[in-house]
Structure 1
């Protein structure tokens, strides 16, 4: 599993990095960004799905 954030959709609510801090962080303007290469370890899959489900703009894509 891999995660990706669409920067055109992200509005910087921060739910992704609040819910899955091991997978997402914030840039200098507070917008979400994927940590590392986006590969989700098995123990973080539930957190990735939770972050994606809670993104108001549906900017998180699970591949």
Structure 2
């Protein structure tokens, strides 16, 4: 299943991929890529999380 699930949960809790990345000690792009892989594995036709300048 990989790192995507805890990353997605942390992003949901913090409402910020940057905050979640800091909590996991990874870069924001690494966390975002992990969530994107999870979405692809789950067959999401579009992103399940909104990403923007004001948070996830």
What TM-score bracket applies, with the shorter chain setting the length?
0.3 to 0.5
TM-score (norm 2): 0.41
TM-score (norm 1): 0.38
The higher relative CO (CA closer than 8 Å, separation ≥ 6) is in 1
Give the strand-richer structure, 1 or 2: 1
